[in-house]
Amino acid sequence: MEIWINPACSKCRSAVKLLDEEGAAYTVRRYLDDVPDENEIRAVLGRLGLEPWDITRTGEDEAKELGLKDWPRDAAARDRWIAALAGHPKLIQRPIITADDGTAVVGRTEEAVREALSRSVG
C-alpha cells in the first residue's frame, strides 16, 4: 500500500495516523517532493476509477491561474488535465491510498481509509 501525502494536510495526517493505529504496512510518498509523472497519474486514475478533474483541487490559486474551472471535462481534454496535475502537483487531491488489490481511494474520510485497509488485508 502506498499513500500520497502532503504533510501539511490535516486529512493526510489523519489518514497516516489511522494506518499506524491499524498496524498497516505502507509507503509514504510526499508527492509535492516526489512528483508523479503523467503515466503515474494515469495509472492512479485507473485504480481510482476517476477522471483527472475528479481529483483536482480547483480551489487552489494555481487552479485559478490556469483557469481550470473553465476547462472542458471530456475525453479530448483528459491529457491536458493530467499534464496540469503533473506540472502542478499541489492540485492533486490528497491523500490518495493505493490498495494491494490494485484499486485506490482518495482517503479524505476515515471510511475511505478503512476501505483501502480492507482491500489490502490478505
pLDDT digits (tens, 9 = 90+) for 57-96: 999 999 999 999 999 999 999 999 999 999 999 999 999 9
Q: What is the pTM of this model?
A: 0.93
Question: Which of the residues 2, 9, 58, 115 is marked catalytic?
Answer: 9
Q: Residue 53, CB half-sphere, CA atoms under 13 Å: how many?
A: 14
pLDDT digits (tens, 9 = 90+) for 35-67: 999 999 999 999 999 999 999 999 999 999 999
Is 9 one of the annotated active-site residues of the chain? yes
Prior bond to 7 cis, omega within 30? no
Strands 2-5 and 96-98: antiparallel
